[in-house]
Amino acid sequence: MRDKVEEILDKIRPALVRDGGNVELVGVDDGTVKVKLVGACAGCPMSTMTLKNGIERILKQEVPQVKEVIAVE
């Protein structure tokens, strides 16, 4: 599942990079995807929306085993 999650994140990254940010996959554990928001995304007030309404929504659509996406330091 980790490879599939990484593949989907690669499709999402260009939009984040355009805004000066990025996302790094930290790990996948029992349906929970742990990511680290970096660059402009790390301090952005909209990062929670990006995480839940963007990254999590897309990952759940593409990888049914994904239950949630959380940001870690």
> Starting from the edge strand earliest in sequence, which strands make up the sheet with 68-71, in order?
21-29, 32-39, 68-71
H-run or E-run covering 14? helix 2-18
Q: How much is the pLDDT for 43?
A: 83
Domain ranges of the chain: 2-71
H-run or E-run covering 2? helix 2-18
* pLDDT tens per residue, range 19-67: 899 999 999 999 999 999 999 998 888 898 999 999 999 999 999 999 9
Confidence of residue 14 (pLDDT cuts 50, 70, 90): very high
Domain 2-71 has CATH 3.30.300.130: yes
pTM of the predicted model, to two decimals? 0.90
Report the alpha-carbon distance of residue 44 to residue 30 in Å, rounded: 28
